[in-house]
Amino acid sequence: MEDFSNIRSLSPEKVEKCMSSMQTGTQMVKLRGGSKGLVRFFYLDEHKSCIRWRPSRKNEKAKISIDSIREVCEGKQSEIFQRYSDGSFDPNCCFSIYYGEHMESLDLVSGTGEEARTWITGLKYLMAGISDEDSLAKRQRTRDQWLKQTFAEADKNGDGCLSISEVLQLLHKLNVNLPRQKVKQMFKEADTDDNQGTLGFEEFCSFYKMMSTRRDLYLLMLTYSNHKDHLDTDDLKRFLETEQKMTNVSKEHCLEIVAKFEPCPENQTSGVLGIDGFTNYMRSPAGDIFNPEHYEVNQDMTQPLSDYFIASSHNTYLMGDQLMSQSRVDMYAWVLQAGCRCVEVDCWDGQDGEPIVHHGYTLTSKILFKDVIETINKYAFAKNQYPVILSIENHCSVPQQKKMAQYLTEVLGDKLDVSSIPADPSGLLPSPEALKGKILIKGKKLPSNIDENAEEGDVSDEDSADEMEDDCKLLNGDTSMNRKQAENVAKKKLDNLMKESKIRDREDPDSFTITALPPSGKHDKSPLKGKAEDSTDTGDEANIGGNKRLARTFMGSFSKRKKKTSKVKKSSSFEDTDTDQESSSGASKAQAHHSRKKKTMKLSRALSDLVYMKSVGMPDFESQGVTWQVSSMSETKAHQLIQQKPVPFMRFNQRQLSRVYPSPYRVDSSNFNPQPFWNAGCHLVALNYQSEGRVLQLNRAKFYCNGNCGYIQKPGCLCEGSFNPVAEDPLPGRLKKQLILKVISGQQLPKPKDSMLGDRGEIIDPFVEVEIIGLPVDCCKEQTRVVDDNGFNPMWEETLVFTLHMPENALIRFLVWDHDPIGQDFIGQRTIAFNSMIPGYRHVYLEGMEEASIFVHVAVNDITSKARAVSGIKGLFHRNPKQASLDSHAAALLNRKSTFGAHLLRRTASAPTKGQPKVKRGFPEISIDTKDCSSDGASEERESEEGPLVHHNGDTASAKSWGQGTNGQLHPDDRKVQN
């Protein structure tokens, strides 16, 4: 959200002064809601990587990493500051730091305005530096800082070195379970200076390097180097072309890799890549599973808008739930820069004739409509130029509608597109490319038959999008309830919603990606034939039609209270609903109440004339309609259409835009599963961006595949022709894709985020689950076995095989869990669009974590004939029924080359750990008439040892099908960090 243009021009002297002052530290007041402020000492740590404070009951965990800071706001802008009366603090001494996934705020008051300015400037400078880094530099900086912090935290007595006991404690914290004798051996090898018995920082780095040397990567290097302890340029070229599917790899490019990633000067001079250099290369963005070309716009952007999915936000202004949370204009800045291209603006009459934005009939705070439009104007095109749609939910009186029109016109200026849809005979909408830099208004529009001189007119209000149910209103003309009572009702309602409904996201209990389950607690049976019953998104779409019925039970005492006061006259949609604010005149109330009964509303011509996309209700499949209309419907209604009329609904979406928004009963701002609506071709699937969790992870993965520009092309069958998304065989006659994922190993997997014992808890027993999210027929999950007591470098060496009917609309979700006798704990995840994956040996970095990853091999086939069991596949990283593991292959190789390799493999911590066998594991299927070229680099001796290989067809994973460029070559320099 920050604009860093001025910060980047700071003089070195100014920067050094800020950094020095922040590292020295400042005593400031930390404000908290509902209590007095706390005096704490804040300082920037020595690595300039995080803000710390003391004293704190959190001890070492009392910190905020610079990487996690979203925004630094000057003055008294946060909700916490608003709770204090005017004059409590000097605004020049106040600032707020917003950080983390949930935009938490740290609200501080310094002793002087100069101190506040130093912190604001210094933090923005550090944030600007992070935003400018390329992904390789960022990963290296992160790793360096992590090592320094790890060393400092392990140094319990602060003497600048680590004893053997401190190292053993550190290994437990890092999830490493090694025999003490092995640890002592590596400790002794690393302890090379005069101060024997302890490790200084450089020695610790050597120790860590020994401990973290990768067995899997070493064996891969041996395979392609003909058992040498390095890869020369010919070996590297063969590996890149055979396994990584790069084409036309030159010797010069191989030498560039050596120069960039090889740390050993002797190897650099010889132009070869040793194990450390190979590890650096494979851990760099060049070895990431995400296609680097997809960090930029790579799709055709010249087709009609109806051919695209559009990233859309619901209740954009809210920071939390829909009953009591704060409204902030900064949320528009955040979502627009996060790639969202359709934002919602709920407009109501405010004081002094100024329209406001908030969630009506609730206790959510209010912001000025003008401020919202100014923020949108500033940030709409900060990250990309593709058009922004303002979804205006208009509840204002005609005078304030005119004010809205005035602000839209004056503030947005030429960006506001008020042109009519081109009179194209085909009736097609313009393309995202043609609308670059334009802001489009979606809202109510006066009918064409109205008197052209009339300044206002009646329009239907029955199809208002996002209409709030009475059960969800806190304030509805009930003058007997003051604000405090309303707050208590809201808190009880939210508590009941969370406690009674059994709605918890199994991956992240705090994610709010939830929906109500049936009262019995049982899911509806999955419609998927032959698939797991839980193959859909953790119940997100289970019994969605029953949400309304069940949600009424959550309202409990609130609904009963309403019945007792049912004689109280309801407030109008024009009323400012907070009891401590002004209300409209009695006449306007009566008029509005009458209008509500008629389901019509007055619309100003001035506002109507600015509307580009006319908002209408449920789609009419019989009429052709007009392409510039947008049909808005709740998730419940849209789900019914998918179940009852899937093909007509999909055909409707081929010519006209549709918007799906969350049920009004989601008062906690939870999100629904968007995939069924994408499957039906719905364009604007509006989500609560403030509710981080599974659903937003899916949404990010969906839109990252086209430069995160907010527009992605729909698959061809969703743009023309007939297609049934819920059919068992939706695309008869079309070749299916087979995804073969070899899950090899994990790296530095942390303990569960909310572990009760924290770092002192048991070392985790991880396993990997891979989930396919797409058409119902494609949805399924597979998982590896459990590895006991190893979160640092577990080895799975297992192959999972999936069949996809429509891979171009599928998301692949990698999940890491900690197995527990009484359940399982969520460790982390990474979700990626199928089309954004690239083949070969790849690292899957868990989202939001510094070093945690899983190492996989990706291959894709066209399925052209009958399938049979995969038991015949034997390769470098696959456990066959006889459990031929990586070690058996390693032993054969090391018999030929034992000196260097035996020493390395003996001292490394990467030995595979025996784990629990998987339960209920059948053989996956693999096509019979395929040919492998993914392991051509392996020697013939390996084939003779392990039997004939069944191979996959490399042609199906060609450069074109994987979204690579014309020459298919992937350069590590071209990779960019994910936002």
Active site residues: 314, 358
Which residues, 6+ apart, have CB-to-CB distance to 193 below 8 Å? 200, 203
717-746 b/e with 16+ CB inside 10 Å = b? bbbeeebebbeeebbeeeebbbbbbbbbbb
Distance between first and last Cα of the chain: 12
Which residues, 6+ apart, have CB-to-CB distance to 22 below 8 Å? 43, 44, 118, 119, 122
CA-to-CA distance for 735 and 318, rounded, in angstroms?
A: 45
Q: Which residue has the tokens 């450069």?
A: 959
Contact criterion met (CB below 8 Å) for 446 and 603: yes
- Residue 445: in which H helix or E strand, if any? none
Q: At what angle do helices 899-907 and 180-190 cross, to 10 degrees?
A: 120
Residue type present at position 878: H
Contact criterion met (CB below 8 Å) for 846 and 828: yes
Question: In three state form, how does the secondary structure of 811-845 look?
Answer: EEEEEEEEEECCEEEEEEEEEEEHHHECCEEEEEE
**Cα within 13 Å of Cα(268), Cβ side:** 8
412 phi/psi in degrees, rounded to 5: -80, -25
Which DSSP string corresponds to 227-281?
T-SEE-HHHHHHHHHHTS---S--HHHHHHHHHHH---HHHHHHT-EEHHHHHHH
Of 354, 359, 343, 440, nearest to 397 by C-alpha is 354
Counting DSSP H helices and E strands in the chain, the numbers are 27, 34
CA-to-CA distance for 491 and 977, rounded, in angstroms?
A: 40
The partner residues of 274 in beta bridges, in order of sequence, read 230
Q: At what angle do helices 275-283 and 215-224 cross, to 10 degrees?
A: 110
Query: Quick check: helix, strand or coil at residue 147?
Result: helix
- Residue 922: in which H helix or E strand, if any? none
Exposed / middle / buried, residue 716 (Cβ in 10 Å: 0-12, 13-18, 19+): exposed
> For strand 388-394 and strand 342-348, is the pairing parallel, antiparallel, or unpaired?
parallel
The partner residues of 658 in beta bridges, in order of sequence, read 631
Residue 281 CA, distance from chain mean position = 26
Contact criterion met (CB below 8 Å) for 244 and 935: no
Contact criterion met (CB below 8 Å) for 792 and 174: yes
Q: CA angle, 535 as apex, 533 and 538 as ends, to 5°?
A: 100
Q: Which residue has the tokens 């929906």?
A: 515
Q: At what angle do helices 899-907 and 215-224 cross, to 10 degrees?
A: 160
Q: CA angle, 628 as apex, 690 and 648 as ends, to 5°?
A: 85
**Cα-Cα-Cα-Cα dihedral of 415, 421, 422, 428, to 10°?**
120
CA-to-CA distance for 858 and 223, rounded, in angstroms?
A: 18
978 phi/psi in degrees, rounded to 5: -70, 140
Taken in order 267, 268, 270, 274, the sign of the CA dihedral is positive
